[in-house]
A and B are shown apart, each in its own frame.
Chain A
Amino acid sequence: MTESRILRWMVEQCARSLEIPLREAVLGDLAETRASDSEALRQIVDVMLRRQTALWHCWRPWAVLAVVATPLAILLSRRSSETASWSSIYVWLCANNLDRTLLADKGFWHVTLDSLTHVAVACLTLSVWSWASGCLLGWVAQRTAWSTWALFSLASCLSLLAIPWNAMSDSQAAAAALHENAIVATNLFYRFVYPLLIHATCVMAPSLLGVMHGRRLRWSPFPLIEATRTRLS
């Protein structure tokens, strides 16, 4: 029962990405043929994928990907990596060093509150930038917004994964920084999992929400930008 409800909810969500006439026709056809929930989901995902693939047969989505999505993905993954890098020290200090003596220390609480506020503000700033980037992607790409977001996420993840390996051989400063915080930098969780968590929560999730918002935007303060967007989408 719950599984069926989840499948139906997924069908509804996927169908929302289709244009209204197509959505009506497809959902009507599925109702008429009495397709099971899993079959309906399979069919609607197939429609979505074919639809998105067909839209990539012209140059416009590629231009949006090259000029808007990829640079934003690289910039945001850089920022996300930096945030994860310095905040991991604070998080490690708080999470991996707790004991009764520290918990009873007022100074510890003062420093913890101060550093966690710092981390929260940085994460919030990154999330706002990601949301705004998603909004721009959704607004510019419109019909190809979902596939553009998927490629944006892929580019940002690849860029993020490339950074730790670069940092190992990059510069002496990076090597020194790694050495100073070696206990954190060599910890697998803080080196790989934590940056991915920061990236997922502060870049991918907000940018996805931004895309959903951007697709609904129909307003522009600048006629020239609006004209360019209309040509691209």
Chain B
Amino acid sequence: MIGEFEYLVLTAAARLGDEAYGASVRRSIEEATEESCSIGALYTTVDRLESKGLIRTWMGEATSQRGGRAKRMITVTAKGMEAASSFYRVVARVTRDAAWEAQ
């Protein structure tokens, strides 16, 4: 099973679709979690997910906004979709009937 940060990266990439690349995925995770996400943590996870075959990455176009540097584009593979969906099902199942209010 994938880890929670891997799930965040997969979900952000799936939600962004064609606009999924390093900076946009990082922004999306930071907005959702309201916590800072380091570039190192993001790319280490991206590499791991790619080696597991859960995502595919390639170098996109360079823009002036990025100082002429290329983007690392991310696409979630079918296997990645399945892994994320399986993780979500487990979280939903384990959360059912759990009360989070203070006793």
In the assembled complex, the Cα of A164 lies from the Cα of B44 at a distance in Å of 43
Q: Across the interface, which residues of B come within 8 angstroms of A49, CB to CB?
A: 40
In the assembled complex, the Cα of A25 lies from the Cα of B74 at a distance in Å of 12
Whole-angstrom distance from the CB of B51 to the nearest CB of chain A? 10
In the assembled complex, the Cα of A50 lies from the Cα of B71 at a distance in Å of 20
Q: Across the interface, which residues of B come within 8 angstroms of A30, CB to CB?
A: 39
User: Contact flags (1/0) for A10-28 with B, using CB distance below 8 Å?
Assistant: 0000000000011011111
| B-facing residues in A46-69 (Cβ within 8 Å) | 46-51, 54
A32 touches which of B44, B59, B66 (Cβ 8 Å): B66
Decide: B67 and A31 in contact? CB cutoff 8 A. Answer: yes
Which of A22, A48, A49, A50 has the most B CB atoms < 10 Å from its CB? Answer: A50
B2 at the interface (CB under 8 A from A): no
Given contacts A21-B72, A25-B22, A25-B71, contact A31 B66 (CB under 8 A): yes
Smallest Cβ-Cβ distance to B46: which chain A residue: A25
In the complex, how many residues of chain A place their beta carbon closer than 8 angstroms to a beta carbon of chain B?
21
A33 at the interface (CB under 8 A from B): yes
Chain B residues touching A, range: 20 to 34
Smallest Cβ-Cβ distance to B71: which chain A residue: A28
User: Contact flags (1/0) for B64-88 with A, using CB distance below 8 Å?
Assistant: 0111011110000000000000000
Smallest Cβ-Cβ distance to B47: which chain A residue: A54
B41 at the interface (CB under 8 A from A): yes
Q: Which label, helix, strand, loop or mixed, suits the secondary structure of the B interface?
A: helix
B95 at the interface (CB under 8 A from A): no
Whole-angstrom distance from the CB of B43 to the nearest CB of chain A? 6
Whole-angstrom distance from the CB of B63 to the nearest CB of chain A? 8
Q: Across the interface, which residues of B come within 8 angstroms of A29, CB to CB?
A: 22-23, 26, 39, 66
A50 touches which of B27, B40, B65, B69 (Cβ 8 Å): B40
Whole-angstrom distance from the CB of A48 to the nearest CB of chain B? 8
A147 at the interface (CB under 8 A from B): no
In the assembled complex, the Cα of A28 lies from the Cα of B39 at a distance in Å of 11
Whole-angstrom distance from the CB of A17 to the nearest CB of chain B? 13
Decide: A32 and B38 in contact? CB cutoff 8 A. Answer: no
Q: Across the interface, which residues of A come within 8 angstroms of B26, CB to CB?
A: 29, 33
A31 touches which of B43, B44, B59, B65 (Cβ 8 Å): B65
Q: Across the interface, which residues of A come within 8 angstroms of B43, CB to CB?
A: 22, 25-26, 47, 50
The 10 closest A-B pairs by CB, nearest first: A28-B69, A31-B67, A46-B40, A25-B72, A28-B66, A47-B40, A50-B40, A29-B23, A24-B70, A50-B44
